Structure formats: structure tokens, C-alpha cells
Amino acid sequence: MTAQQPESRGAAVSAPVLELDDVHVRYGGSHILQGVSFEVAATGVTALLGRNGVGKTTTLKAIIGLAPRSGRIMLRGSEIQTMATSRIVRSGIGYVPEDREVFGGLTVDENLRLVAPDQGADAPVVGRLFPDLVTRRGQRAGTLSGGQQQMVSLARVLLRENALLLVDEPTKGLAPKLVTEVADVLAEVARTRPVLLVEQNLPLVRRIADRVVVLDAGAVVHRGAAADLVADVDLTRELLGVSMRREGAA
């Protein structure tokens, strides 16, 4: 593991909202997470980085209870690792999965009413952050573009007063203009609640993340300030196998 970096921006001064302690995930004969431990600060964006297949998505699924796991996971000081997924979510964790996973056969409004039965697309937060969804409220979510589906997926978790949002590759497969729109929304959201973000897009990480946790082969290999990591070309290349100079804009 590389030396821990001092956190230069948005440093966690209060108790962490989420703590993972020696979390393991095994699928069949594969040991995917091998003792992952880190904390998510109570404010700002913590980015979970790493090469493809190192266990980033599995880490989010372990937190939310969608992957069989062992170890300790604490949300605001309370253990949640034995809870069912639905109870974890009701405890205050919102989950935006990779590939959006909206309900394609339901309308936009119905997708939102699953979380907020009395409001749906009428919720103020939807009108403020996703005005396009309000106008498309009667449209089946399966007929929306990828960016619009991502907005539905984000809007769903914002309808509940969550203590933490887990967001898995929200810009994956989106056009550059939509990447910027999603980044704007995430930056806005992160002002009011902490976000644990899995993302491959380093310019986006540089723009909105305060802290980074880097995984490799199912274990944490680096923790520190996001600005320090993305400023260090050699470290970025060593940990992620990419260079900021070759990345596009967020």
C-alpha cells in the first residue's frame, strides 16, 4: 500500500458516515474482496477507484447487501452487515447501480413513485434537478436515452432522505455533454449529503471528489485526497494504469 496522503480538501473532521472493516466477498471459489477496510467521510464525495475487475462494484454491492459478505460494515455507528438489502436502504443508504437499472416497462413517474408514493415526478427535488423528467413523466423509462435513464436512477435515490449515496459509474457509456450534466448533478447533490462514487472518469473525479480510495486485487492500496492523486501522474499511472493527460474532460 502506498503511503496515506494528507487530505487537502474536504477533510473528514466529523465521524465517518460509513466504515468498512475487514470486509470479504467470496463468489463460489473466487475471493473478490480480501479484507477491505476504509471510511467514508460524512461530507463530500469519496471516490472508489481502481482498474477494471478489482472489486469496486462488488464493494458497493457488499455495502448494500447484494453480495454475500463477511466483516463489519457500520452506517453512522450502527452495524448493517446482517441486515437485508431493503432494510439497509431504509436505514439511509441510496444506491445508484451500474447500468442504471430503471424499470423499463414503468413510466418515469412510476419509477419515482416506487420510492416516493405520494410525490413521484411532482417532488420538488425532481423539478429542480431534473426538469426534463417532469415533462417526460408519462414516458416509459425503457424508451429514454441513457442519460435520461441515469437521471431517473439518480432522482430515485434523492427522493429519500439518505445519509449516504452509493453511485456506481454514473457516466459510463454517456456522451460527453451528458457526462457534464451528470457531473453537475452529482456536484450539487454532494453539497448536501456524502457520496461514495465508483468512477473511471478521472477528470470527473478531479472535479467533484474530495477523497479517494483505490482498490487493487480486492484490497485497498491507497487512501488520500483526490487532488493529490490526480496531480501525481506517476502515482495515477501506477495505481490506475492511466494518465490524466490522456483523459477527456468531465
173 binds other proteins (CB under 8 A): no
138 binds other proteins (CB under 8 A): no
Q: CA 120, CA 62: separation in Å to the nearest integer?
A: 28
Query: What is the x/- site pattern for other proteins, positions 49-78, by CB under 8 A?
Result: ---------------x-x------------
25 binds other proteins (CB under 8 A): no
Q: CA 112, CA 133: separation in Å to the nearest integer?
A: 10
249 binds other proteins (CB under 8 A): no
101 binds other proteins (CB under 8 A): yes
**Residue carrying the nine cell digits 449515496:** 165
Question: In the sheet that 18-27 helps form, which strands lie side by side, from edge to edge?
Answer: 30-40, 18-27, 69-75, 78-79
From residue 180, alpha-carbon distances to 187, 191, 201, 250 in Å are 10, 17, 11, 6
From residue 229, alpha-carbon distances to 5, 112, 133, 165, 205 in Å are 9, 37, 36, 23, 10
98 binds other proteins (CB under 8 A): no
Using CB under 8 A, pick the residue from 105, 127, 176, 241 that binds other proteins.
Answer: 105
193 binds other proteins (CB under 8 A): no
Q: Which stretch binds other proteins (CB under 8 A): 27-35, 111-119, 184-192, 214-222?
A: 111-119
Q: Which stretch binds other proteins (CB under 8 A): 37-45, 80-88, 211-219, 236-244?
A: 80-88
Cα 87 to chain centroid, rounded: 19
- The site for other proteins (CB under 8 A) is made up of 64, 66, 84-87, 89-90, 95, 97, 101, 103-106, 110, 113-115, 117, 156, 160
